[in-house]
Amino acid sequence: MEFYPSCIWHEVGERIVITIIAVAAGGFLGAIVRYLVSMRVTGMLGILSVNILGSFLFGLSLRFVDEAGTFSSFWLIGFLGAFTTFSTFAVQFVETWNDGHSVKAISYALVTLIGGLLFVCMGWIFSGFILIK
Amino acid sequence: MKNTLLVGVGGIIGSLLRYSVVLVIPDIFVLWIVNGVGSFLLGWLSGRAIATGKATSILWTTGILGSFTTFSTFSAEWLSVAQADIGLAILYALLMTVWSFILAAFGMKWGRGLS
């Protein structure tokens, strides 16, 4: 009985370590894949593709992944979290705006927003069809 | 190859920092903090790079800050808001975007001043 608390702490500690490793591994891969895509498709189009594809995959995964589980830490928080980015999107907008291309900047923002939000819905709806079949 | 590894290491650091925010801050504030702070810092680094003429390490830009901030979680959170109230969801998306843009613009302005 006296070992009971330490057993709980051991289990909690183990889970935290596994979660940290899962997030780190996902983040490592997600960032590298984003980097490789942005080398092939440079500028706004690359980040747009990454954010839309990442949103689709996130929506697609939601029904299959247990959000409290280790795979979710790897895939949703780590990989897709790092694969997609908001800061680059924001800075690209500001740079384009500062260069005097305000219409281009606003179009970029709107296409990213509408595309990302449309594709997360499509992923979610699509995963429903997969489950029915 | 070296750049790829730097981005990967940045991805580890950025993702773990984001996860730490998830653990410490209530859920509804997480993305506002993460995307706001990350956009501000990336704006600051970009402004500083313009001012000094020296490029910032890819470890910080594409790696750490690129991975610290996230779009996919924002999309998913948007979806869950949209399932309850589509008007609120549209407002949420616009505010999150404007919030990050304003912070990125402030960061860049501030970073440029440091030449």
Q: Does B21 touch chain A (CB under 8 A)?
A: no
Residue B1 clears pLDDT 90, i.e. is over it: no
Q: What is the pLDDT of residue A15?
A: 86
Residue A4 clears pLDDT 80, i.e. is over it: no
| Ramachandran region, residue B19 (left: φ > 0; alpha: ψ -120 to 50; beta: rest) | alpha
Read off the pLDDT band of B84 (50, 70, 90). Answer: very high
The enclosing H or E element of B95 equals helix B86-112
DSSP assigned state of B57:
P
Closest of A53, A54, A46 to residue A108, by C-alpha: A46
Q: What is the pLDDT of residue B25?
A: 95
Q: What is the pLDDT of residue B26?
A: 95
End-to-end CA distance of chain B: 31
C-alpha R_g of chain B: 15
Q: Which of A23, A33, A67, A86 to mutate to test the interface with B (most CBs of B within 10 A)?
A: A86
Q: Does A126 touch chain B (CB under 8 A)?
A: no
Tell me the mean pLDDT in the region B101-110.
97
Residue B92 clears pLDDT 70, i.e. is over it: yes
- To 10 degrees, the CA torsion angle through B7, B62, A31, A91? 180
Q: What is the pLDDT of residue A106?
A: 98
Q: Does A51 touch chain B (CB under 8 A)?
A: yes
ipTM: 0.95
Out of A23, A35, A120, closest to residue B15 by CB: A23
- Whether residues A32 and B7 touch (CB distance < 8 A) is answered with yes
Å between B52 CA and nearest CA of chain A? 17
Q: What is the pLDDT of residue A130?
A: 85
Read off the pLDDT band of A72 (50, 70, 90). Answer: very high
pLDDT in tens, A23-44: 999 999 999 999 999 999 999 9
Residue B115 clears pLDDT 60, i.e. is over it: no
Residue indicated by tokens 């980015």: A85
- The answer for residues whose C-beta is within 8 angstroms of residue B17's C-beta and 6 or more apart is B64, B68
Å between B29 CA and nearest CA of chain A? 15
Helices of type H across chain A: 4-40, 43-61, 70-72, 81-83, 87-98, 102-132
Q: What is the pLDDT of residue B13?
A: 98
Q: Which of A15, A62, A91, A108 to mutate to test the interface with B (most CBs of B within 10 A)?
A: A91
- Whether residues B8 and A29 touch (CB distance < 8 A) is answered with yes
Residue indicated by tokens 């980040």: A47
Residue A1 clears pLDDT 50, i.e. is over it: no
Token reading at B85: 């109230």
Q: Which residue of B has its CA nearest to A123?
A: B76
Residue B88 clears pLDDT 50, i.e. is over it: yes
pLDDT in tens, B27-72: 999 999 999 999 999 999 999 999 999 999 999 999 999 999 999 9
Residue burial A31-55, b: 16+ Cβ < 10 Å; e: rest: bbbbbebbeeeeebebbbbbbbbbb
